Amino acid sequence: MFRKLHSAQGRVTVTVDGIEVEAEDGEPVAALLLRLDGGMARTNPVSGKPRAPYCMMGVCFDCLVKVDGVASTQACLTPVRQGLTIERQRGVRDLTDAA
């Protein structure tokens, strides 16, 4: 669905839902998610329907993911870096793992 128009300068490896993928160093996590599996970042905590990054500037909160164990992180404002662990949030956040 989405693809990069230019070649990446620096490639890194990150983990998305337990699967290692290549990404461009410094690109927003949300941009990476848009290229993977139809772009879903999380599911709506009420309806369970998939949500994707929308505004790409930190306003809408549709791109919330768990990054390196920190839940409800805005993927559009988080740059990719080597070794990053990203998990899509599904359903209601578990407050027992809140940092």
Domains in the chain, ordered, with CATH?
A: 11-90 (3.10.20.440)
Other beta carbons less than 10 A from residue 3's beta carbon? 6
Alpha carbon 18 to chain centroid, angstroms: 13
Cα(41)–Cα(93) distance, rounded to whole angstroms?
A: 14
pTM of the model: 0.81
Each residue's pLDDT expressed in tens, for the chain with a length of 99 residues = 566 666 556 899 999 999 999 999 999 999 999 988 777 888 888 888 888 889 999 999 889 999 999 989 999 999 999 999 999 988 776 667 555
